[in-house]
Amino acid sequence: MTKNIIGLTRSDDLERAEMLFNRHKIKHIPVVSGETIIGMLSYTDLMRISFAETAPERDDSVDSVVYNMFTIEQVMVKDVVTVNSETTIKEVAQILADREFHALPIVDDGTLVGIVTTTDLLNYFVKQF
């Protein structure tokens, strides 16, 4: 799992989210209140509401207008499936496969302690061979 968590809060805006996705080259960001996860925002969620995929040339002003129409809370997934740090790699892989997720937050005693992604799993498997 990745322990160095890049997170957002309810008060952050979608422009900040896009900046974090791009700067850190990540696809999923937990939304937190203190150390508690309250949602998950994926880059796909963000692209769903933007014109980025359909615009012939990148026009940041269009995205800014669209992003200002929504809040993090409106776009994030609220019913987040989590696992704890004692969950086996096999169990995590099974959840990701069955639910067609690409990331799972790791929560111990109500506190977000990490995130495991399909990339993390692939890197782990590559190291095993």
Residue 86 covered by a domain: yes
Structural domains of the chain, count: 1
Residue 104 belongs to a domain:
yes
Number of H helices, E strands in the chain: 6, 4
Within-domain flag for 30: yes
Which CATH number belongs to the domain containing residue 103 in this structure?
3.10.580.10
Q: Which domain holds residue 73?
A: 14-128
Give residue 44's pLDDT: 93
In-domain check, residue 56: yes
**Residue type for position 73:** E
Predicted local distance difference test score (pLDDT) of residue 3: 94
pLDDT of residue 62: 46
- Inter-residue contact 120 to 2 (CB < 8 Å): yes
Q: What is the pTM of this model?
A: 0.85
Angle between helices 89-99 and 118-128 (to 10 degrees): 130
52-86 tens-digit pLDDT:
545 455 555 445 677 888 999 999 999 999 999 99
The answer to whether residue 1 is domain-embedded is: no
- Does 33 reside within a domain? yes
- Residue 96 forms part of a structural domain: yes
Show the low-confidence residues of the chain (pLDDT under 50).
Answer: 53, 55, 61-62
